[in-house]
Structure 1
Amino acid sequence: MKNKIILAIFGVVIVIAALDSCSDSEAIAEGTVLPDSVSYNFNIRPIFSDKCFKCHGPDAAKREAHLRLDIADSAYAALKETKGAYAIVPGNVDASELFKRVSSTDTSYMMPPPNAHLGTLTPFEVQLIKKWIAQGAKYQKHWAFTSPVKAPLPKISDDKWPVNAIDYFVMQKLDQLNTAPNEAEDKERLLKRVSFDITGLPPSIAMMDKFLADNSDKAYEKVVDQLLQTPQYGEKMALHWLDIARYADSYGYQDDNIRSQWPWRDWVIHAFNKNLPFDQFLTWQIAGDMLPNATQEEMLATGFFRNHKYTEEGGVIPEEYRVEYLVDKTKTFTKGILGVTMECAQCHDHKYDPFSQKDYYQMLAFFNNTKEAGYEGDVSTSKPAKTPFLVLGDTDIQKTLSFIHKKDTGMLTISVMGELDTLRKTYILNRGRYDAPTVEVNAAAPESIMPFDTTKFPRNRLGLARWTVDKSNPLTARVFVNQIWQDIFGRGIVKTTGDYGMQGELPTHPELLDWLAVDFMEHNWDVKYLLKEILLSATYRQSTIATKEKLEKDPENKFYTRGPRTRLTAEFIRDMVLASSGLLVPVIGGPSVKPYQPAGLWESATSGRGVLATYKQDHGEDLYRRGMYTFIKLTVPPPSMVMFDASNRDQCEVKRSKTNTPLQALIMMNDPLVLEASRVLAQKLLVQNADQKLQISNAFRLIVCRKPTDKEMTILGDYYNQQLQQFQQKNLDANKTIQVGEWPVNDKADINHSAALMKVIVMIYNMEESIMKT
Structure 2
Amino acid sequence: MFNSDCFFRSRLLWIGAGFSALLLAATVGCNNKNGSAESMPDVVSYNFNIRPILSDKCFACHGPDANKRQAHLRLDIAESAYAPLTETKGAYAIVPGKPEQSELFKRISSQDPTYQMPTPESHLGLLNEHEVALFKKWIKQGAKYERHWAFIAPKKAPVPKVKDEKWPKNELDNFIMAKMEQKGLSPNEEADKERLLKRVSFDLTGLPPSIQMMDDFLNDKSPNAYEKVVDRLMQNTAYGEKMAQHWLDVARYSDSYGYQDDNIRSQWPWRDWVIHAFNENLPYDKFLTWQIAGDMLPDANKEQILATGFFRNHKYTEEGGVIPEEYRIEYILDKTKTYGKGIMGITIECAQCHDHKYDPFSQKDYYELFAFFNNTKEKGYEGDVSTSKPAKNPLMQITQEDRQKLLSFINYKDTNALTVSVMGELDTARKTYILKRGVYDAPSVEVQPTAVAAIMKYDTTKFQRNRLGLAEWTIDRNNPLTARVFVNQMWQEVFGRGLVKTTGDFGMQGELPSHPELLDWLAIDFMEHGWDIKRLMKQMVMSATYRQSTKTTDQKQGIDPENVYLSHGPRNRLTAEFVRDMVLSSSGLLVRTIGGPSVKPYQPKGLWEAASSGRGVLATYQQDHGDALYRRGMYTFIKLTVPPPSMIVFDASNRDQCEVKRLKTNTPLQALIMLNDPTVLEASRVLAQKLEAEPGSATDKINKAFRLIICRKATDAEMKILQSYYDDQLQEFKQKKLDAQKTLNVGEFHKNDRLEQNSLASLMKTISAIYNMEEAITKS
Give, in angstroms, the shift of residue 680 of structure 1: 0.3
2:361, 2:452 within 8 Å by CA — same for their partners in 1? Answer: yes
Q: Tell whether 2:507 aligns with 1:501.
A: yes
Distance 1:64 1:406, change over 3 A: farther
Higher mean C-alpha displacement, 411-420 vs 753-762: 411-420
Aligned-partner Cα distance in 2 for 1:702–1:88: 64
* Aligned pairs for 1:586-601 within 5 A: 586-601=592-607
Instruction: Report the equivalent of 1:4.
Output: none
Give, in angstroms, the shift of residue 65 of structure 1: 5.1
Higher mean C-alpha displacement, 36-45 vs 698-707: 36-45
1:312, 1:375 within 8 Å by CA — same for their partners in 2? Answer: yes
Secondary structure, counterpart of 1:688 in structure 2 = coil
Length, aligned pairs only: 763
Instruction: Report the equivalent of 1:12.
Output: 7
Distance 1:433 1:109, change over 3 A: farther
2:318, 2:388 within 8 Å by CA — same for their partners in 1? Answer: no
Distance 1:708 1:148, change over 3 A: same
Secondary structure, counterpart of 1:195 in structure 2 = helix
1:49, 1:502 within 8 Å by CA — same for their partners in 2? Answer: no
Residue deviations 1:714-733 (CA, integer Å, cap 9, x gap): 11111111101111111100
Structure 2 stretches of 5 or more lacking a match?
18-32
Letter matched to residue 529 of structure 1: R
Residue deviations 1:214-251 (CA, integer Å, cap 9, x gap): 00001100010001001000000000000000001111
Give, in angstroms, the shift of residue 605 of structure 1: 1.0
Aligned-partner Cα distance in 2 for 1:432–1:46: 31
Give, in angstroms, the shift of residue 660 of structure 1: 0.4
Instruction: Report the equivalent of 2:249.
Output: 243
Letter matched to residue 12 of structure 1: F
Give, in angstroms, the shift of residue 202 of structure 1: 0.3
* TM-score, reference length from structure 1: 0.95
One of 753, 757, 762 as aligned partner of 1:751: 757
Instruction: Report the equivalent of 1:280.
Output: 286
Give, in angstroms, the shift of residue 367 of structure 1: 0.6
2:205, 2:238 within 8 Å by CA — same for their partners in 1? Answer: yes
Distance 1:405 1:300, change over 3 A: same
Instruction: Report the equivalent of 2:358.
Output: 352
Higher mean C-alpha displacement, 437-446 vs 60-69: 60-69
Give, in angstroms, the shift of residue 94 of structure 1: 3.2
Higher mean C-alpha displacement, 81-90 vs 400-409: 81-90
1:724, 1:752 within 8 Å by CA — same for their partners in 2? Answer: yes
* Aligned pairs for 1:255-654 within 5 A: 255-379=261-385, 383-654=389-660
Secondary structure, counterpart of 1:224 in structure 2 = helix
2:435, 2:444 within 8 Å by CA — same for their partners in 1? Answer: yes
Distance 1:112 1:413, change over 3 A: farther
Instruction: Report the equivalent of 1:713.
Output: 719
Letter matched to residue 88 of structure 1: I
Secondary structure, counterpart of 1:390 in structure 2 = strand
Instruction: Report the equivalent of 1:699.
Output: 705
Secondary structure, counterpart of 2:693 in structure 1 = helix
Aligned-partner Cα distance in 2 for 1:771–1:451: 46
Aligned-partner Cα distance in 2 for 1:558–1:589: 36
Aligned-partner Cα distance in 1 for 2:293–2:144: 41
Distance 1:244 1:380, change over 3 A: farther
Letter matched to residue 442 of structure 1: Q
Aligned-partner Cα distance in 2 for 1:380–1:321: 19
Residue deviations 1:156-211 (CA, integer Å, cap 9, x gap): 11001111001101110121122321111100111100000000000000111111
Aligned-partner Cα distance in 1 for 2:13–2:693: 29
Give, in angstroms, the shift of residue 83 of structure 1: 3.9
* Aligned pairs for 1:193-232 within 5 A: 193-232=199-238
Higher mean C-alpha displacement, 533-542 vs 38-47: 38-47
Residue deviations 1:268-322 (CA, integer Å, cap 9, x gap): 0000000000000000000001100111111100010111111122222221111
One of 139, 144, 155 as aligned partner of 2:150: 144
Give, in angstroms, the shift of residue 73 of structure 1: 2.9
1:190, 1:541 within 8 Å by CA — same for their partners in 2? Answer: yes
Residue deviations 1:571-622 (CA, integer Å, cap 9, x gap): 0000000000000000001110000001111111112211111111110000
Give, in angstroms, the shift of residue 74 of structure 1: 3.3
Distance 1:432 1:78, change over 3 A: same
Letter matched to residue 196 of structure 1: F
Secondary structure, counterpart of 1:440 in structure 2 = strand
Aligned-partner Cα distance in 2 for 1:326–1:543: 46
Give, in angstroms, the shift of residue 771 of structure 1: 0.3
Higher mean C-alpha displacement, 47-56 vs 499-508: 47-56
Aligned-partner Cα distance in 2 for 1:54–1:178: 34
2:337, 2:349 within 8 Å by CA — same for their partners in 1? Answer: yes
How much identity, in percent, do the aligned residues show?
71
Instruction: Report the equivalent of 1:686.
Output: 692
Distance 1:545 1:292, change over 3 A: same
* TM-score, reference length from structure 2: 0.94
Give, in angstroms, the shift of residue 341 of structure 1: 1.0
Secondary structure, counterpart of 1:216 in structure 2 = coil
Letter matched to residue 353 of structure 1: D
Give, in angstroms, the shift of residue 548 of structure 1: 1.7
Instruction: Report the equivalent of 1:24.
Output: none
RMSD: 2.3
Aligned-partner Cα distance in 2 for 1:73–1:29: 37
Distance 1:415 1:101, change over 3 A: farther
2:261, 2:385 within 8 Å by CA — same for their partners in 1? Answer: no
Aligned-partner Cα distance in 2 for 1:707–1:223: 19
Structure 1 stretches of 5 or more lacking a match?
1-6, 22-26
Higher mean C-alpha displacement, 113-122 vs 689-698: 113-122
Aligned-partner Cα distance in 2 for 1:201–1:445: 40
Letter matched to residue 302 of structure 2: Q
Distance 1:28 1:739, change over 3 A: closer
Give, in angstroms, the shift of residue 352 of structure 1: 1.1
Distance 1:54 1:415, change over 3 A: farther
Secondary structure, counterpart of 2:346 in structure 1 = coil
Aligned-partner Cα distance in 2 for 1:273–1:147: 30
Secondary structure, counterpart of 1:367 in structure 2 = coil
Distance 1:503 1:123, change over 3 A: farther
